Amino acid sequence: MPQLLYVSSSVRPDTSQSNKLGQIFCQYISELTPETTVVTRDVGINPPSHPDAAYTVANYTPPDERTPAMQSALAQSDMLIDELLSSDQLVFSVPMYNFSVPSTFKAYIDNLVRVGRTFIAAENGVFQGLLTGKKALFITARGAAYGEASPLKAFDHQEGYLRTVSGFMGLTDVQFVHADGLDFADKTYRDASLANAKKNLSEIATAW
């Protein structure tokens, strides 16, 4: 059976628009393909530890040379990567905090980007991602508008970062659905933005 991994990252469990949109998408998938197993992880409320010195030393030590302490330092990261590798579809709901991603989600990403596990380095200096053959969807919620015509377009350090880091790990089938203007736009704009996001999510779920 296909498995979908849904990762939410807002620190506001009850009022988060990114969480609500992510849950809506998962509900679409469950209705359209009930055979899909949905695995959930909330890194906003239960964030992983930030990689530290022990993690870094263990990560760059060949696997067959790692001590039990090194293996322990990487245990959380290994679990998160195994969860990712075992999933066919990846859905991330990510609010924009200060023009980028939440620090909790950055900690999650830092646990995923691992040489030998999610990417390899070739001798000619080219990196190759290992998370191939998976569909990925990023659902974002933003307080202001960051579209092509917005004067804040250059402030968007969220989508570019997510595209870069996911592509680095081998995710090439990646889609984005943005709900923007949720804090600093009028109600008409906000309502239209959310309605459009839900429409896009429905279309993506149907295509998946």
- The 10s digit of each residue's pLDDT in 138-185 is 999 999 999 888 999 999 999 999 999 999 999 999 999 999 999 988
DSSP assignment letter at 51: P
Q: Which residues sit opposite 40 in a β-bridge?
A: 6
Question: Is residue 123 scored above 80 in pLDDT?
Answer: no
Q: Which residues sit opposite 137 in a β-bridge?
A: 91, 175
**pLDDT tens figures, 89-116:** 999 999 999 999 999 999 999 999 999 9
DSSP assignment letter at 115: B
Q: Which residues sit opposite 127 in a β-bridge?
A: 121
Which residue segments constitute the domains of the chain, with CATH numbers given?
A: 3-207 (3.40.50.360)
